[in-house]
């Protein structure tokens, strides 16, 4: 069966923009519950400025708190060398650097111009590799930038190649503000697959304009099989105006299972994570399919001799 490898980014992308700050213990619950639902990799937190993103100030404490199988599945975002050192000290084994594809977004996000951001990312990748860490390199605002409009696909190709040549284990193309449409996605991801193959290529989608699943499907059609998504569709970037929630993990997992892909995710268990998140963040949450999925799986589990939840697809 075809596999789709999903990284859930809700503890980082999801929580970094929430007015209500979850406690370290609640974040630990989220990460361990995501892991128990079968999510193979989780972006746990970011080692960024606690003044810039106070929601992530407990990054080191959080890594220390997570135990069990979840602790082998974590990656963390680092914006610069200082973040890498902090992450290493805290025992991180996989880091993500963020390079934006426009000058202004780099300035807003990590306070560096493009040239400086490229060289800082290359330095961090090299330092991380020397320390034996796995690495992911985001190419952010890869389709459109909230400050500069449409992004040049040629530039995204060039930056992706630079990150791949620098040995990034995965290059993740990010539609940071959820502005891409399916033909753009299939063109760019198809070109990238032709140059670097699918094994090291990921796609990070937001669902701002309702095209998250359509974009995921377009990417799947050209062979992309690694995606970032967020439980409950929680997400957004404090430095990118207009960025709404990420593509919801429950929506993507449902699409994948219905289309004959294996994800390892138990959807009913994931729905319980969404419910727990909703309770902790004190608001109704959930992807586009959430209400229907809940009803569907509660009926399935009420039937005698039902198939194992999440396994029938």
**Burial degree of 12 (CB within 10 A; 0-12, 13-18, 19+):** buried
Contact flag: residue 49 with ligand COA (CB under 6 A):
yes
Contact flag: residue 98 with ligand COA (CB under 6 A):
yes
Identify what 137 binds: ligand COA, Zn ion, none; CB under 5 to 8 Å per kind.
none
Helix, strand, coil distribution of the chain in percent, nearest 5 = 45, 15, 35
Contact flag: residue 110 with ligand COA (CB under 6 A):
yes
| Contacts (Cβ under 8 Å, ≥6 apart) of 215 | 175, 180, 181, 182, 185, 203, 205, 247
Please give the Cα distance from 269 to 271 (Å, whole number).
5
Helix (H, G, I), strand (E, B) or coil at 227: strand
CA angle 78, 67, 76 (to 5 degrees): 10
Q: Which of 6, 8, 12, 13 binds Zn ion (CB under 5 A)?
A: 13
Identify what 109 binds: Zn ion, ligand COA, none; CB under 5 to 8 Å per kind.
ligand COA
Show the tokens assigned to 82.
């200082």
Q: Which of 10, 24, 37, 46 binds ligand COA (CB under 6 A)?
A: 46
Contact flag: residue 9 with ligand COA (CB under 6 A):
no
Contact flag: residue 141 with ligand COA (CB under 6 A):
no
The yes-or-no answer on residue 121 being catalytic is no
Contact flag: residue 94 with Zn ion (CB under 5 A):
no
Q: Where do runs of H (alpha helix) occur along 66-152?
A: 81-89, 103-110, 114-130
Stretch near ligand COA under the rule CB under 6 A, chosen from 78-86, 124-132, 223-231, 267-275: 78-86
Contact flag: residue 212 with ligand COA (CB under 6 A):
no
**271 DSSP 8-state letter:** H
Q: Which of 75, 96, 121, 237 is catalytic?
A: 237
Stretch near Zn ion under the rule CB under 5 A, chosen from 5-13, 119-127, 157-165, 284-292: 5-13
Contact flag: residue 104 with ligand COA (CB under 6 A):
no
Residues designated catalytic? 237
- Residues forming the site for Zn ion (CB under 5 A): 13
């Amino acid at each position: 069966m075809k596999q789709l490898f999903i990284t859930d980014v809700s503890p980082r992308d999801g929580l970094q923009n929430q007015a209500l700050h979850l406690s370290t213990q609640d974040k630990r619950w989220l990460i361990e519950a995501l892991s128990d639902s079968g999510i193979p990799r989780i972006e746990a937190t970011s080692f960024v400025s606690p003044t810039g993103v106070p929601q992530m100030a407990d990054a080191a404490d959080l890594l220390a708190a997570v135990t069990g199988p979840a602790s082998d599945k974590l990656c963390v975002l680092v914006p610069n060398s200082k973040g890498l050192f902090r992450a290493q000290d805290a025992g991180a084994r996989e880091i993500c650097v963020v390079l934006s594809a426009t000058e202004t977004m780099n300035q807003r996000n990590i306070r560096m111009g493009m040239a400086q951001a490229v060289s800082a990312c290359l330095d961090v990748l090299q330092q991380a590799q020397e320390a034996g860490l796995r690495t992911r390199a985001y190419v952010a605002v890869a389709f459109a930038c909230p400050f500069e409009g449409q992004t040049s696909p040629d530039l995204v190709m060039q930056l992706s190649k630079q990150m791949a040549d620098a040995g990034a284990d995965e290059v993740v193309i990010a539609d940071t503000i959820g502005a891409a449409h399916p033909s753009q996605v299939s063109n760019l991801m198809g070109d990238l697959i032709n140059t670097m193959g699918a094994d090291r290529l990921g796609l990070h989608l937001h669902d701002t304009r309702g095209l998250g699943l359509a974009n995921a499907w377009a990417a799947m059609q050209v062979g992309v099989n690694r995606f970032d998504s967020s439980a409950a569709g929680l997400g957004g970037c404090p430095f990118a105006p207009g960025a709404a929630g990420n593509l919801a993990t429950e929506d993507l997992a449902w699409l994948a299972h219905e289309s004959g892909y294996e994800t390892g995710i138990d959807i009913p268990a994931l729905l319980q994570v969404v419910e727990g998140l909703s309770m902790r963040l004190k608001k109704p949450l959930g992807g586009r399919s959430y209400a229907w999925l809940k009803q569907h799986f509660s009926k399935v589990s009420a039937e005698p001799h039902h198939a194992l939840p999440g396994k029938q697809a």
